[in-house]
Amino acid sequence: MLMKIPILICLALLGIGMQAQEKDLSIPEVDELPLSAQPAGTLARYWLKVGSDAQGRSVVVPVLLVKGVDPGPVLGVTAAVHGNEVNGIRAAQELCERTDPKSLRGVVVAIPGLNPQAITRLVREYPDGEDLNRVFPGKAGGNESQVMAHAISQKLLPHLDYLADLHTASFGRENSLYVRADLQQDTLLALATGFGADVVLDSREASAGSRTGGTLREAAATQGIPGFTVELGNPQVYQPELIDRGVAGLLQAMDVLGMRSGTSESFPAPVVCSRSFWVYTDQGGMLDSVPALLEQITQGQLIGVLRNAFGQEITRYYAPASGVVIGRASNPVVRSGGRILHLGIIAKMAEE
């Protein structure tokens, strides 16, 4: 009997400890971001409600809110609008871990997981099968993905001054670290070229804000919020080197925006491209992709060899123009219209 008493005491203490731990880990669910209510110089975590599921439970996205002690811009950092883009999730988390709110000017609003139902299902699309990043700004009375996009557009974007939207390649592809932005805008030019990316792509269509049913960056532009897209490598994996580079680039972006003090990090100059496009197969088979990521290729260079199920060569593909390989197919199994590589046309080449 006496032996049981210490055990019971230990179990009781363990229970108290577990309750305390659960309390410490309790994160409030909010309908709106409490930007003004949060004390200056703090980091807070929230679950932001953006809808409800088939059982009436809240659909929420995680929010990390770092509020500085001095006034400054509000930078939004979003990740995983596609559910398989997990490099961006960790980059957003680490950015907030490495940001000292007591020396910050402005606010960082990070959402490390913008498409939670796709993330937990290990898929890219929203549960209704739609690409969530093609339905912004959404509709209050639309289908499932449109309602989700509308909630994000209404509950997140109005708080922001700038947007950094983190992505990766999709399944069956691999990406370099590259940034898409409207390089005609001086601030976006500075943010993009100073990020430390391998490639910077001049991407103006999202800044026009003229289309409906588009990307998150387009929805931001419609609300007057300059944004840029960061492609951080490959899908459904953590790539520590690219995550570290993504965090370093985001910290550099905060320096450009005047949100931090100190010496800015110096990165090698990126390859700047005026435009880009994918090159596709015209038949199905097993594809050998020849050029490596970031390889600069010339027009007419061999880029792919397609074989049938017996290993017999069907056809060869050649570069339609000179440029740099921004992304490429990693899955050799292709159908007609399969992707071979994403070719960036280097800006100086476009001017010649």
Domains of the chain from N-terminus onward:
25-256 (3.40.630.10), 274-351 (2.40.50.100)
DSSP character string of 12-53: HHHHHHHHHHHHHT---EESS--TTTSPTTEEEEEEEEEEE-
The Cα 275–Cα 265 span in angstroms is: 27
The 3-state DSSP composition of the chain as helix, strand, coil percent (nearest 5) reads: 30, 30, 40
Cα of first residue to Cα of last residue in the chain, in angstroms, is 91
Task: Determine phi and psi for 306, rounding to 5 degrees.
Answer: -110, 130
Summarised one tens digit per residue, pLDDT across range 317-326 is 999 999 999 9
What burial class does residue 22 get, using C-beta atoms within 10 Å of its C-beta: 0-12 exposed, 13-18 middle, 19+ buried?
exposed
Q: Which residues of the chain have pLDDT under 50?
A: 1-24, 209-212, 350-352
Q: Tell me whether strands 105-112 and 70-79 are parallel, antiparallel or unpaired.
A: parallel
Summarised one tens digit per residue, pLDDT across range 55-110 is 999 999 999 999 999 999 999 999 999 999 999 999 999 999 999 999 999 999 99
CB 261 within 8 A of CB 192: no
What strands lie across the sheet with 285-289, from one edge to the other? 313-318, 302-307, 285-289, 333-334
pLDDT of res. 204: 82
DSSP 133: G
